């Protein structure tokens, strides 16, 4: 994989690991490598679920400000598509994803976490969108995904102030889904994603697509998206296996093949 981002696959779980010491700053190379890792995880049939992890000390402390400092409007107008591209790639992974957050998830780091389906945070983790303190706004999806997750008023307060949100508050407002001791973050993420290994991959993909696309649409359009995806699953072997198993053995005993 890349110099700073790798994809490690073990027991059906793909771990996208950031390793750019000391703070996993998201320079243009890291952004590109994150997008490539997300695409690789999406395409690999051995990957049933994905963890995004920055290591034991820090998730990602945001963009590389030194790299951005000298960029002109013309430079950023060209680069901004790529800035959103890597978080779009993460959000588009057609499998369950979780951000395993230790230390700081700030700016672009928070936006990486927001692009995942779920977020597990260490008890001492800090999240935030402090771009306003640099005279800019979040540019990798933060204004949009944060507002959809915690509501517009809370998102505005966090973005307008640039403040850090601790793990307890993040859990209370729905910014993260689970808080665990710092030394248990990755293990908790693996435990959560392991429940999807051996699951009905096409149904999980359809569920994610229906929810995500439905949220970007009006209710009637969302219902139509659900109808089409629901109907399409009747062409899968997993649907037949799941229903046959239910009738013969009861719920929760089916063996799925992902086809």
Residue 111 annotated in active site? yes
Does the pLDDT at position 64 exceed 90?
Answer: no
Range list of β-strands (E), the chain: 5-10, 13-18, 49-53, 97-101, 104-106, 118-122, 126-128, 164-166, 178-180
Residue boundaries of the structural domains of the chain: 5-194, 201-249
The H or E element that residue 209 is part of is helix 201-215
pTM over cut 0.85: yes
CATH assignment of 201-249?
1.10.12.10
Classify 5-194 by CATH class: alpha beta
Question: Which residues, listed in sequence order, are joined to residue 121 by a DSSP beta bridge?
Answer: 101, 179
Q: What is the mean pLDDT of the chain?
A: 95
Work out the number of other CB atoms within 10 angstroms of the CB of residue 247.
8
Does the pLDDT at position 101 exceed 90?
Answer: yes
**Is there a shared CATH topology between the 5-194 domain and the 201-249 domain?**
no
Active-site residue, from 8, 10, 33, 131: 131
Predicted local confidence at residue 161, as pLDDT: 97
Q: Report the range of poorest mean pLDDT among 76-80, 89-93, 168-172.
A: 76-80
Predicted local confidence at residue 233, as pLDDT: 96
Instruction: Name the nearest CA neighbour of 116 among 59, 161, 75.
Output: 59
Predicted local confidence at residue 42, as pLDDT: 98
Mean pLDDT of 37-45: 97
Q: Is 248 exposed, middle or buried (0-12, 13-18, 19+ CB in 10 A)?
A: exposed
Mean pLDDT of 18-47: 95
Residues 196-242 have pLDDT tens digits of: 999 999 999 999 999 999 999 999 999 999 999 999 999 999 999 99
Q: The tokens 């950031």 sit on which residue?
A: 18
The CB-based long-range contact list for 240-246 (8 Å cut-off, 24+ gap) reads: 242/200
Q: What are phi and psi of 219, to 5 degrees?
A: -60, -45
Active-site residue, from 111, 157, 226, 237: 111
Contacts (Cβ under 8 Å, ≥6 apart) of 234: none
Q: State how far the Cα of 18 lies from the Cα of 40, in Å rounded to an integer.
A: 15
Cα 164 to Cα 48, 103, 119, 159, 249, distances in angstroms: 33, 12, 16, 10, 50
Does the pLDDT at position 81 exceed 80?
Answer: no
């Amino acid at each position: 994989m890349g110099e700073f981002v790798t994809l490690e696959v073990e027991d059906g779980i793909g771990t996208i690991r950031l390793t750019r010491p000391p703070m996993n700053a998201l320079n243009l190379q890291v952004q590109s490598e994150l997008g490539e890792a997300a695409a690789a995880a999406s395409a690999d049939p051995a990957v049933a679920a994905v963890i995004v992890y920055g290591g034991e000390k820090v998730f990602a402390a945001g963009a590389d400000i030194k790299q951005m400092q000298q960029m002109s409007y013309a430079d950023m107008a060209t680069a901004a598509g790529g800035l959103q591209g890597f978080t779009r790639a993460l959000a588009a992974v057609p499998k369950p994803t979780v951000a395993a957050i230790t230390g700081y998830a700030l700016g672009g780091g928070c936006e990486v976490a927001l692009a995942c389906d779920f977020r597990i945070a260490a008890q001492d983790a800090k999240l935030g969108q402090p771009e306003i303190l640099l005279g800019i706004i979040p540019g990798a999806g933060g204004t949009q995904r944060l507002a959809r997750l915690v509501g517009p008023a809370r998102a505005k307060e966090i973005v307008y102030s640039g403040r850090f949100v601790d793990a307890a508050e993040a859990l209370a407002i729905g910014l993260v889904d689970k808080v665990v001791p710092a030394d248990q973050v990755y293990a908790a993420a693996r435990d959560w994603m392991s429940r999807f290994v051996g699951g009905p991959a096409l149904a999980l993909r359809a569920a994610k697509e229906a929810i995500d696309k439905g949220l970007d649409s009006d209710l009637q359009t969302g219902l139509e998206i659900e109808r089409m995806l629901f109907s399409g699953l009747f062409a899968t072997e997993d649907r037949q296996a799941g229903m046959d198993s239910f009738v013969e053995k009861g719920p929760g005993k089916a063996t799925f093949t992902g086809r």
